[in-house]
Amino acid sequence: MATPDSPLHGRWRSSTTRLLLIYGALFVVWGTVLIGVINLETQRYLSQVVDQILEQRAHYLASIDRSQLPAAMATTSALDLQGVMAFGVFAADGRHLAGNLAELPAHLQADGHVHLLAHGVQRLDQVRVQRARALALRLGSGELLVLARATSVVDQVGVILRQSLLWALSLTLIPGLIGGYLLSRGPLRRVRALEAAVQPIMRGDLGRRLPLSGRRDELDLLASIVNAMLAELERSMSEVKGVCDNIAHDLRTPLTRLRAQLHRLQQHAPIDADRGALVEHCIADVDSLLSRFAALLRISEMEDRRRRAGFGSVDLGAMLREIHELFAPLAEDKNVRLELQLEAVPAIDADRELLFEAISNLVSNAIKFTPDGGIVQLRARTDAHGARLCVLDNGPGIPAGERDAVLQRFYRSEGTRQLPGSGLGLSIVSAIVRLHGFRLDIGTGEHGGARVTLHCQPPAIGN
């Protein structure tokens, strides 16, 4: 059975497949209507031919002398090799006078017009015509001339015609659908190529472009428009990023110089305790500014994708045990219990240093926002999509409306502004996650606090 994310399900959801199925359904409906119209028109035409034969034969028999009528009927019977005709002459009281028709058909009007007898007529030779078209004509002597012809030939022609048209419809529809499917595979392959080309762009590599086939068709036109949009977006982002990087670089030097001068003042100048505390506070503020600029430059570095060379096989279990040992004393100082729940997880392709930094930031945040006596859990497990890391706490959590905003630079919610921090920790985590092509989910944990899940598997194309 095709799952929602399987390739088979994706093919069924494609627009070309839907158009092909719609075309097939319309073709079947239109073919069925056409078969019905052709069948009705053919049967109507054949019935008109039968009616004309009956009317012509009836007028011929009515026009000859009464004494010659039995001989004319005998000639007509001899010419009826298929045995589809029945005719007879009946007295005014309904008695049989001549012909091979055993009895006068009930409810047959003597108006000279042809009528359909659904129950047929009975002949003298015990042959019953199941369905017949019949005509009754009053002769000048008062006798009634009746002629009937079976509709079996017309019915057989209708059956043969319907079968032939159904075969023609099938032999046209099936090759048409197969041909349409084969022709649609070309555009689908190009769409798959475009999807594959979009994946690095979605992960932040704005320098990539969509491939062009050179056919100058609709897909090439769309790819050209997207490429032009990407070029303009890359230019704008580069300008903004360049300004931010230049500011960060330019301010680091004077800030570093200022810190050095404050430190020199603290070490060598004779100052009292109050002024010494003020200098210490100034140095702390400068250090905070320098750390923020360093974080900005680090995010910029990762967004530039300069760290791909550091990728290799990473043992998640060993790294998580190391992080647990590193933060256990900090958690103990805050009276927070830090638990490690580790299952067997496979090694992944990642930059160990960056991934260590990302998970450390998550654990540090969880400890910072967890109240006294709380619990922070670091979990690792494997599901159908690969390794999955979770950091859970029982702190205030992150409101649903702010879960995207907390990944932005310098964002701090109203409830956390009084706490120390720069608002760049989760931005660094987000940049590292994007660099690896992983996925980060923020939700609510089992204890009501925050749950941050890191899916260490690049998303499949189309998901």
Judge whether residue 417 has pLDDT over 70: no
> 432-461 pLDDT, tens per residue?
888 777 888 888 887 778 888 888 875 444
Give the chain's mean pLDDT.
78
Q: Looking at the predicted structure, is the pLDDT value of residue 244 above 80?
A: no
pTM check: above 0.85: no
Token match 């158009």: residue? 19
Q: Give the HSE-up count for residue 104: Cα atoms under 13 Å, Cβ half-sphere.
A: 20
Q: Which range, of 249-253, 334-338, 351-355, averages the lowest pLDDT?
A: 249-253
pLDDT of amino acid 325 = 92
Q: What mean pLDDT is predicted for residues 187-208?
A: 79
Q: Which amino acid is at 367?
A: I
Question: Looking at the predicted structure, is the pLDDT value of residue 28 above 70?
Answer: yes
Q: Which two tokens stand for residue 11?
A: 């093919």
For residue 299, pLDDT beyond 70:
no
Question: Average pLDDT of 407-427?
Answer: 62
The pLDDT of residue 52 is above 80: yes
Which pLDDT belongs to residue 241? Answer: 66
- Closest by Cα among 356, 319, 361 to 340: 319
Q: Which residue has the higher pLDDT, 234 or 463?
A: 234
pLDDT attached to residue 321: 92
Chain segment 158-180, per-residue pLDDT in tens? 788 888 888 887 887 788 778 77
User: Do residues 64 and 72 lie in contact, with contact meaning Cβ atoms separated by under 8 Å?
Assistant: yes
The domains located in the chain, with CATH, are: 1-202 (no CATH), 218-303 (1.10.287.130), 308-455 (3.30.565.10)
Q: Are 435 and 305 in contact (CB under 8 A)?
A: yes
Express each pLDDT in 371-390 by its tens digit.
Answer: 888 899 898 888 877 888 89
List, for residues 88-144, the tens digit of each pLDDT value.
888 877 888 887 788 888 778 888 888 888 777 877 777 777 788 888 888 877 888
Q: Which residue has the tokens 């140095």?
A: 283
pLDDT tens digits, 199-213: 877 766 778 888 888
- The full 3-state SS of the chain, as one line of letters, equals CCCCCCHHHHHHHCHHHHHHHHHHHHHHHHHHHHHHHHHHHHHHHHHHHHHHHHHHHHHHHHHCCHHHHHHHHHHHHHHCCCCCEEEEEECCCCCEEEECECCCCCCCCCCCCEEEECCCEEECCCCEECCEEEEEEECCCCCEEEEEEECHHHHHHHHHHHHHHHHHHHHHHHHHHHHHHHHHHHHHHHHHHHHHHHHHHHCCCCCCCCCCCCCCCHHHHHHHHHHHHHHHHHHHHHHHHHHHHHHHHHHHHHHHHHHHHHHHHHHHCCCCHHHHHHHHHHHHHHHHHHHHHHHHHHHHHHHCCCCHHHEEEECHHHHHHHHHHHHHHHHHHCCCEEEEEECCCCCEEEEHHHHHHHHHHHHHHHHHHCCCCCEEEEEEEEECCEEEEEEEECCCCCCHHHCCHHHCCCCCCHHHCCCCCCCCHHHHHHHHHHHHCCEEEEEECCCCCEEEEEECCCCCCCC
Which are the contacts of 77, defined by CB distance < 8 A and separation ≥ 6? Answer: 85, 87, 100
Of the given ranges (222-231, 317-326, 412-421), which has the lowest mean pLDDT? 412-421
Q: How far is CA 254 from the centre of its chain?
A: 56
Q: Percent of the chain scored above 90 by pLDDT? A: 2
Query: In the sheet that 132-138 helps form, which strands lie side by side, from edge to edge?
Result: 96-99, 85-90, 144-150, 132-138, 114-117
From CA 61, how far away is CA 40, in angstroms rounded? 31
pLDDT score at 322? 92
